[in-house]
Structure 1
Amino acid sequence: MDLASLGGLLLLAAIAAYMQTLTGFAFGLIMMGGIGLTGVIPLREAAILVSVLVIVNALQVLRRGWRDIAMAEFIPIILSSLVFLLVGYWLLGILLAASLHWLKLVLGAVIVLSSLQLLLKPAPLEQRSSTGSFVFFGAIAGLMGGLFSTAGPPLVYHLYRQPLKAQAVRETLVAVFAINALIRLLTVAAAGNMPSANFWWSLTTIPVVIGFTFLAKRWPPPLSPATMRRLAFLLLFLSGVSLGAPALLTLIGDIS
């Protein structure tokens, strides 16, 4: 990995960690979108890196906050998400075998749809949703986590509608993402899909994630949560369109 590629990867990790700490999600989406656009490392290896960094971020967050995890919601979510994580990882292999453009198109669409969700303010529910709903959204999170190590958006929206304290929602989400990331890494190792030697340079992003997570907690910007959500939306929407549109045009050209 040359210095320019490594510098770009470090910058992406810094932005993703900062936004994740301030908004509670979007780490994987920003990293995968940015890497897909720049091509600094292959997308399959990018998903591995995101899994590692999600775990690093979670260890910082959960070191003190693990007691706030909402166990009644966490258990059905994690059980269904782990099953569908394996399905998502299997689908990743199919997309890669078909064409890299298909993978970029699906990833771009996921990022765009996730960014649009940021414009929706979750309307709080008076009563807790059914256990089946947590199983359903956990399954979607697992599917997205298996594909791209980006398990967040639909589950984030559903949990923030529940009559739970914001801190409980954040800690529960972080715990789900961390366990999904760990199981995904174990799945990669079991399948023998270990990354190339150049990948290990990308682990220099770990201290960057730690540092920018601390900075965002210690000195958050003087911006309202609504403004932060708009910034996250703009960043994700542009990256998703930039990634998916060229892939779509290429695929249409191949068909015609």
Structure 2
Amino acid sequence: MLDPTLIGFTAIIAFATYVQTVTGFALGMIVMGAVTTFELVPIAFTSVVISLVTIANGCFAIKGNMKALNLNTILITCAGIFPALALGLALLDYLSSEFSSLLQTLLGTTIICGGLMIMLKPEPIARPSGKPLFAASGAAAGLLAGMFSMAGPPLVYQFYRQPFEMQTIRLSLLAIFLICSVLRTGMVGVQGGLTLDMFTFTALALPVVALFTWLGRNYPPPLSPANLRRLAFGLLITIGISLLVGALRS
């Protein structure tokens, strides 16, 4: 892998790791969208690296904060993720080999929709949602995770509606992303889709993940939650439109 590619990918991972640590979401969308926009590496390769990086990010961020997790809700959500994750991986494999432009179009559309969902401000409900809603949001997240390692949008919307403390929401999302990434990596491994390059690249990125996770936990930006959402929204919309334009040109 060429040095410029490694440097560019690492810089994107650093920024996305910081954003996810501060907000609890967006790592997958930023990395997948930016890397694909600049055509650094294929989508399938990027999705595996995102999964491995998300595992590291989740471990670093959750360490010492286990008491803040809503374990029951996490388990229910993950029960919906597993079958949809397998379907998403199958779609990624098929579209990567047969319809690459369509795959990029779907990615761009998903990122734009994710950006729009970030800007939504659902009113917190009086009581936590029932188990079926958490399982359904997990299924939607699993499909996106299987295809693009981007489980965030449906989960973010679902969890931010709940009458939970903000720390519980943020850490529970990170925990679900971690579990989802472990499942996805295991499935890809069973299919023989893991390569030495993927692990080497991830190993080189891990010190960056650790550093920017620590920075995110200890030095969040001097921005209000609303301004953080606006910043993420603008970035994701720009990335999504770039992907759609690129797909139309190909």
Give the TM-score normalised by the residue count of structure 2. 0.95
Separation in structure 1 between the aligned mates of residue 199 and residue 165 of structure 2, nearest angstrom:
39
Aligned partner letter, 1:229: R
Mapped pair 1:44 → 2:50: no
Separation in structure 2 between the aligned mates of residue 63 and residue 54 of structure 1, nearest angstrom:
14
- Counterpart in 2 of 1:187? 187
For the aligned residues, what is the CA RMSD? 1.4
Separation in structure 2 between the aligned mates of residue 199 and residue 189 of structure 1, nearest angstrom:
12
- Counterpart in 2 of 1:109? 109
Of stretches 5-14 and 216-225 in structure 1, the one that deviates more from structure 2 is: 216-225
Q: What SS is found at the alignment partner of 1:231?
A: helix
- Counterpart in 2 of 1:118? 118
**How far apart are 1:100 and its partner, in Å?**
1.5
**How far apart are 1:196 and its partner, in Å?**
5.9
Say whether the 8 Å CA contact 1:138–1:155 is kept in structure 2: yes
Deviations 1:11-59 (A, max 9, x none): 1011101111121100010000011011222110100000000000000
Aligned partner letter, 1:220: P
Separation in structure 2 between the aligned mates of residue 160 and residue 201 of structure 1, nearest angstrom:
33
Aligned partner letter, 1:53: V
Q: Structure 2: state its 5+ residue gaps.
A: none
Of stretches 64-73 and 207-216 in structure 1, the one that deviates more from structure 2 is: 64-73
Among all aligned residue pairs of Structure 1 and Structure 2, give the percentage whose two residues are the same amino acid: 36
**How far apart are 1:203 and its partner, in Å?**
3.2
Mapped pair 1:59 → 2:59: yes
Mapped pair 1:95 → 2:108: no
**How far apart are 1:71 and its partner, in Å?**
2.4
Q: What SS is found at the alignment partner of 1:123?
A: coil
Say whether the 8 Å CA contact 2:88–2:146 is kept in structure 1: yes
Say whether the 8 Å CA contact 2:49–2:201 is kept in structure 1: no
- Counterpart in 2 of 1:74? 74
Aligned partner letter, 2:116: L
Separation in structure 2 between the aligned mates of residue 117 and residue 14 of structure 1, nearest angstrom:
23
Give the TM-score normalised by the residue count of structure 1. 0.93
- Counterpart in 2 of 1:86? 86
**How far apart are 1:74 and its partner, in Å?**
1.5
Separation in structure 2 between the aligned mates of residue 115 and residue 92 of structure 1, nearest angstrom:
22
Q: Structure 1: state its 5+ residue gaps.
A: 251-256
Say whether the 8 Å CA contact 2:33–2:243 is kept in structure 1: yes
Of stretches 239-248 and 45-54 in structure 1, the one that deviates more from structure 2 is: 239-248
Identify if the C-alpha distance between structure 1 residues 42 and 203 changes in structure 2 by more than 3 Å, giving closer, same or farther.
Answer: farther
Of stretches 44-53 and 63-72 in structure 1, the one that deviates more from structure 2 is: 63-72
Mapped pair 1:136 → 2:150: no
Q: What SS is found at the alignment partner of 2:119?
A: coil
Query: What is the aligned length?
Result: 250
Mapped pair 1:31 → 2:25: no
Of stretches 116-125 and 51-60 in structure 1, the one that deviates more from structure 2 is: 116-125
- Counterpart in 2 of 1:253? none
- Counterpart in 2 of 1:146? 146
Deviations 1:214-234 (A, max 9, x none): 112222221111111111111
Separation in structure 2 between the aligned mates of residue 197 and residue 163 of structure 1, nearest angstrom:
43
